[in-house]
Amino acid sequence: MHSVSIVGCGYTGSRLAERWLNSKQMVRGFATRIESLRQVTAVGADARQLNLDVPLPAPIDFDGQLVYYSVPPAPDGRHDARLERLLEHIVGAPRRLIYLSTTGVYGDCAGATVDEESLPLPRSGRAVRRLAAENAVRAWADSHAVSWCILRIPGIYGPGRLPLERLRRRDPAIDPGEATPGNRIHVDDLVTACVAAGHAARADGRIYNVTDGSDDSLTSYLQRVARIVDLPPPPLISRAEAEKTFNATSWSFLSESRRVDNHRMLNELDVGLAYRDLDAGIRASL
């Protein structure tokens, strides 16, 4: 009998599966892409193919299991049809349903600090869909008397997730004087928080910001990586020029800024971050 199921078992999910396997748990990893399924198998989990963009052939039994959901919503609409399709096909009562969301649900806070009590005001379509997914998870779990927990996650970095190609291409970055705060988390620390959210009794019905507590701008982060890997730093341009130069997706991230408070995660989940120091996290990712 599986004790942990990870729906959307990709970059983070395969590492989460490996962490649970190391603690002698039976793990299923659901993914769509063949490459992801191979990685799930490689870490020793039971790989199951699942495409949430088409009708599901059968119900999925999650009875008594810890279930993580990290599939991104489809790129259109105001709801998460993928998540809603899965919820309609769950049989049995999961031990806890943990949804991996995004700090993007807070919207643009003009650099102000936000915590879990801050009102979400998503601006981008993807953040609107993420907040709708959070609400769908809460409504489904409450109506089925199932424990739930939501993790709001910023940019994830780690092995294979450093902006090395961007630096080699000499893509520009916003001048430090105009760059806005950013937030991120090393994938190993994210996995630690995910496991803690599964263990902690007090995580039931709670939302946690999962971030390393730093608020370096993207420009500062790029400059740090360049210095550590001995690449030229990115050329700098004004914010006005960046808005004209960057594509819509890139600019949608840069047009919002906030400082994300992580004290609830540290205090309630007792997460010990391995990479509070951003330089150490970058070095560990090489």
- What pLDDT shows up at residue 1? 58
The answer to whether residue 104 sits within a structural domain is yes
One-letter amino acid of 138: R
pLDDT band at 239 (very low <50, low <70, confident <90, very high): very high
The answer to whether residue 122 sits within a structural domain is yes
Question: Coil, strand or helix: which one is 61?
Answer: strand
Confirm if 33 and 47 have CB atoms less than 8 A apart: no
The answer to whether residue 60 sits within a structural domain is yes
Share of the chain above pLDDT 90, in %: 98
Sign of CA dihedral 161, 166, 174, 251: negative
Q: Tell me: the pLDDT tens digits for 106-147? A: 999 999 999 999 999 999 999 999 999 999 999 999 999 999
> Could you report how far apart the first and last alpha carbons of the chain are, in Å?
37
For the chain, the domain total comes to: 1
pLDDT band at 87 (very low <50, low <70, confident <90, very high): very high
Place of tokens 């910023």: 154
Sign of CA dihedral 53, 48, 43, 91: positive
The answer to whether residue 231 sits within a structural domain is no
Q: How far is CA 159 from CA 18, 130, 188, 211, in A?
A: 15, 26, 10, 17
Q: How far is CA 216 from CA 150, 246, 281, in A?
A: 24, 20, 13
Confirm if 105 and 120 have CB atoms less than 8 A apart: yes
The answer to whether residue 225 sits within a structural domain is no
Average pLDDT along the chain: 97
Backbone phi and psi for residue 194, each to the nearest 5 degrees, phi listed first: -65, -45
The answer to whether residue 55 sits within a structural domain is yes
Averaged pLDDT for residues 39-52: 98
Put simply, whether the predicted model's pTM sits higher than 0.85 gets the answer yes
Rounded Cα gap, residues 242 and 174, in angstroms:
7
Residue 94 scores a pLDDT above 90: yes
The answer to whether residue 226 sits within a structural domain is no
The answer to whether residue 191 sits within a structural domain is yes
Residue 172 scores a pLDDT above 80: yes
- What pLDDT shows up at residue 10? 96
Structure tokens at 198: 């599964």
Q: Tell me: the pLDDT tens digits for 242-265? A: 999 999 889 989 999 999 999 999
Containing domain of residue 49, as a range? 4-158+184-212+260-276
CATH of residue 94's domain is: 3.40.50.720
